[in-house]
Amino acid sequence: MGELAWRVLEATLAVSMWASVLMGGLWLGRRLLSGVPAWAWTLGWALVWMRLVVPFNLDIPWSLLDGDASFSASLALAPWHSLVQDSNVDELMRTPVVWWQQGLVALWLCGAAAVIGFMVQRALCWRDQLTRIERLDDGPLFDALLEGQDVLGLGGPLSVWSARGLAAPVIHGIWRPRVMVPERFLGKLTAEQWRCVVTHELAHVKHRDVALGWLATAAMALHWFNPLVWMAWRSANTDRELAADARAIKSLGADHTFYGNTLLEVASHSPPPTLRLAMAPGWRSSGSVLRTRVTALDGITSGSRAQSAGLLTAAALVFACGIIMTQRAPAMTEMPTGWQMAGSGRTQYLVTMDRTEHVAGHASARLQGKLPSARGYGTLMQSFDAAPWHGKRVRVSAVVRSEDVTRRGDFWVRVQAPDSPPDGPGLTAGGCDLRGTQDWKVCDVLLDVPARGRTIQIGVGIDGPGAVWIDDVRMEEIGARTEHQNHAYVPFQPHLTNGVLE
């Protein structure tokens, strides 16, 4: 359980770092591209929230950020045989989490729980402070509701309610949305003003802003440690109000001056709210946001070329954001396709694709400690079904190199039976010593695959400081099985032929 939590935290940190680039880009774009309509930024924030709450990559057959398909091919042994997850690999994958990792996981979970608890507490207090909640089925508010539904094309169970204790008009609920207005507002606004207010709130329903508010809240709980998430939340709230203003004005054909005066009129009757739900869009805004909304009204009704250019820019930004969201997040570990980390110290090491040091394709796999103090054996490995190779002699070869390996480093191959222990030589094994600093060399291992063999496993591993590389891994049959039996596994003294790569 501890290891699973650590892996989730690792993925969350990786996603948070990648999303920070997108959030920073959107934040800067809002200030530099004045002609871009608010709905485009709102859609961009929605993509960010979705990415933040889903800490894994979408499974797509292509990537704009990873063009090294030949790397996976050069490391994909016998692709016609399916990768198997046998009990040996499962046991090897069970790795204890060290104390500092447990501490980080505990801190992250406590922070997430605190954010969730705070939001729940605010929601309960907000609900408790409302009294005299009454449904309005006639009058100017009800007429404004019907007109707003018609101009926005909304159906479903919509209703309008008044409540005492409410600071300003809000939309509440996802499945059965309610337009809620303060009781003290009744009789203070004209029918035309109510049309603007109610249509603005219904625009939030049209834009699914309540659901997006909950999504943003989940993102804040998971990524509470990232200050850009909190900045993005504030910017997203402003953009959703601007987008609702634009939708209301265009749908009603309202004069922007009258709409701006309505904004100020509502603000004059709205005291600062003691509680505000993050997931409940409302008419009441802070002073700076109110100024932004009033200032932006002129651009809403403008049909200038700048507005058209802004729409094109918005479309390009949304498309680019959507493409980037489907790419592989920059993880702490870049795992080659079909490979996995194992060993008692596997969480101490980092796997990356080295595009400068390689002999085949466009990259090799490099394994090194996350910290200089890394301890425990970690191995990048792959496991195959041994059945097609029963009774055959095979050659497994790889091009490997090492740098400053002081404790242990090796390339290894073994055949495992169903009852073989997770550590040790299995039925038969061989390998190549990678201690010290060694230039690229070919490591060949010859194995006779016994009939009892269930899996053939290969890997490159390290214990302690330094780094090891692996590239151009191959496996081939070299002839029928002979009477010769491989010797017992002796670390770093296998029967193999090493050749220096030319």
Report how far residue 53's alpha carbon sits from residue 64's, in angstroms, rounded to the nearest whole number.
Answer: 22
Residues in the chain: 502
Euclidean distance between the first and final Cα of the chain, in Å? Answer: 47
Q: What is the mean pLDDT of residues 386-414?
A: 91
Q: What are the helix (H) ranges across 33-171?
A: 38-53, 69-75, 87-93, 99-128, 140-152
Residue 399 contacts residue 501 (beta carbons within 8 Å): yes
224 and 112 Cβ atoms separated by less than 8 Å: yes
Residues above pLDDT 70, as percent of the chain: 75
Which has more pLDDT, 25 or 280? Answer: 25
Q: Tell me: do 213 and 230 sit in the same domain.
A: yes
Query: Tens digit of pLDDT for each residue in 246-273?
Result: 889 888 888 888 888 888 888 877 766 5
Could you tell me if residue 2 is inside a domain? no
Residue 404 lies in a domain: yes
**Residue 85 in this model has a pLDDT that exceeds 60:** no
In a domain, 4, yes or no: no
pLDDT, residue 272, reads 60
Range(s) of the domain holding residue 415: 68-96+333-500
Least confident range of 22-36, 73-87, 98-112, 330-344:
73-87
Residue 363, Cβ density class (10 Å: 0-12 exposed, 13-18 middle, ≥19 buried): buried
Token pair 């709130």 in the structure block, residue: 201
pLDDT in tens, 134-161: 999 889 999 999 999 899 988 878 899 9
Q: Which of 19, 1, 7, 2 is nearest to 225 (CA)?
A: 19
Residue entry with tokens 């039976």: 417
Mean pLDDT along residues 318-341: 63
Cα(175)–Cα(341) distance, integer angstroms: 44
Question: Does 303 have pLDDT greater than 90?
Answer: no
Residue 376 in domain: yes
- Is 378 a domain residue? yes
Domain count, the chain: 2
For residue 395, which amino acid is it?
Answer: R
Let me know whether 343 and 319 are in one domain: no
**Of 325, 356, 375, which marks where a domain is finished?**
325
Q: Which of 30-39, 95-104, 223-232 has the lowest mean pLDDT?
A: 95-104
477 plus 460 within the same structural domain: yes
Mean pLDDT is highest, among 90-99, 318-327, 350-359, 458-467, for 458-467
Task: Examine the fold and report which residue of 325, 359, 390 is the final residue of a domain before the chain moves on.
Answer: 325
- Is residue 318 very low, low, confident or very high in pLDDT (cuts 50, 70, 90)? low
Task: Fill in the DSSP letter of residue 38.
Answer: H
- Which of 95-109, 352-366, 368-382, 444-458 bottoms out in mean pLDDT, i.e. has the lowest? 95-109
CATH code, 340:
2.60.120.260
Last residue of a domain, which of 325, 342, 374? 325
Q: What is the mean pLDDT of residues 410-436?
A: 88
Whether residues 83 and 129 share a domain: the answer is no
Amino acid 462: pLDDT: 94
Q: How far is CA 95 from CA 2, 345, 346, 372, in A?
A: 9, 7, 7, 19
- pLDDT score recorded for residue 22: 82
Task: Please say if the pLDDT value at position 410 is more than 70.
Answer: yes
Q: Note whether 353 and 265 are same-domain residues.
A: no
- Name the residue with higher pLDDT: 213 or 481: 213
- Averaged pLDDT for residues 307-321: 64
State yes or no: pLDDT of 465 exceeds 70: yes
Same domain membership, residue 374 and residue 267 = no
Two tokens at 457?
Answer: 């496993």
- In this prediction, residue 75 has a pLDDT band, given cuts at 50, 70 and 90, of very low
Give 78 or 139, the one with higher predicted confidence: 139
| Co-location of 218 and 275 in the same domain | yes
Q: What is the pLDDT of residue 276?
A: 52
- pLDDT band with cut points at 50, 70 and 90 for residue 379: very high
Task: Please indicate, yes or no, whether the overall pTM of this predicted structure exceeds 0.75.
Answer: no
Residue 129 has pLDDT above 90, yes or no: no
* Residue at 396 is within a domain: yes
User: Both 435 and 304 in a single domain?
Assistant: no
Do 82 and 105 sit in the same domain of this protein? no
- Please give the average per-residue pLDDT across 78-105, as a whole number: 50
Please state which of the ranges 63-72, 371-380, 420-429, 458-467 shows the lowest mean pLDDT: 63-72
* Ramachandran quadrant class, 472 (left: phi over 0; alpha: psi -120 to 50; beta: rest): left
